[in-house]
Amino acid sequence: MELTFVDAIRQALIEEMRRDPAVFLMGEDIGVYGGAFKATAGLVDEFGPQRVIDTPLAESAIVGAAIGASYTGMRPVVEMQFMDFVACCFNQITNFAAKSHYRWNAPVPIVIRGPVGGGVHGGPFHSQNPEMYFVHTPGLKVVEPATPGDAFGLLLAAIRDNNPVLFLEHKFLYRRLKEDVAIDAPPIPLGRAKVARPGRDLSVITYGAMVQTALATADQLAARGIEVEVLDLRTLLPLDCDAIAATARKTSKVLILHEDTRTGGIAGEITAILQERCFDDLDGPILRLTSGDAPVPFSPPLEEAFLPSAQALANHIERLARF
């Protein structure tokens, strides 16, 4: 079935709701309106308002209700209209959902999903990449796919997982990608990266929308004789440390690319992993290309300067290739 990224999300929700009556949806305007980005369009018609629940504008209450429902054996999928507002329920996620299984063996099978990222001129309250607030929290899983097929398969796995999962969907990808998705395929296991493009000269490790930037840049540089391997992390917590080490040992040069801001971004964690596991295999410095340490600008020219660009990526790759 040929699906856009957002349609793959919607189809995964449909498949899981048909398969398991314990799965239900909660969120702002997800019923009749179909969600801000139409990821739940038409679902209320098939499953009814008892399973596609329109909620008040109160993110903390939504997640709190989802946690309570999970304690009774339900499997809620919560939509954040924009993931920026997940900050409103930070306490519910980090101090209740993340710790329940550890403290008293109570699984919390909830998924909190929604759009992240810039490039659409949404400004500082609708363009953030909040993943690292939660990657630091044991008990959570954090997922950010880069293709429709991965969005479909990873969301199946997230809904079936007995731990709370934050499922981040880069809004720039929603309607810009389309591919054939095998809806009868098994879920894609969480915690496993994939090589999105093989290469021999250096590795770019990335995730989300930056995978597409990396792939496009790699194709351009191949004409200049630089073969770039692109590793798509897919899951940020847990990280696939073995895949990270494998690509570093293969090419001996690594650049880490992400849209999140620089300080405290996952590039620093990956750098530490590489230093600990692959120091003797490296033939150059570990480079990182990220957004700046600032709120996401609303102005299109400022946002363009703030975000990692294909040209900046090409410049970094060419510099690293010279070592």
Q: Which residues are catalytic?
A: 126
How many CA atoms are closer than 13 Å to the CA of 196, on its beta-carbon side?
29
Q: How far apart are CA 253 and CA 243, in angstroms?
A: 14
Nearest to 151 by CA among 176, 132, 133: 176
| Of 170, 175, 162, nearest in space to 113 by CA | 170
Pairing between β-strand 141-143 and β-strand 165-170 as defined by DSSP bridges:
parallel
β-pairing, 165-170 vs 178-180, is unpaired
> What gap in Å lies between CA 155 and CA 241, rounded to an integer?
21
172 — phi, psi (to 5°)? -65, -25
CB within 8 Å of 219: residues ≥ 6 apart: none
Q: Would you give the DSSP letter of residue 285?
A: P
**Spatial CB neighbours of 82, under 8 Å, sequence gap ≥ 6:** 36, 114, 115, 122, 125, 126
Other Cβ atoms closer than 10 A to 297: 19
Reading across the β-sheet that carries 228-232, which strands appear in turn?
194-197, 228-232, 202-206, 254-261, 287-291
Residue of 51, 41, 50 whose CA lies nearest to 77: 51
CA distance 102 to 172: 36
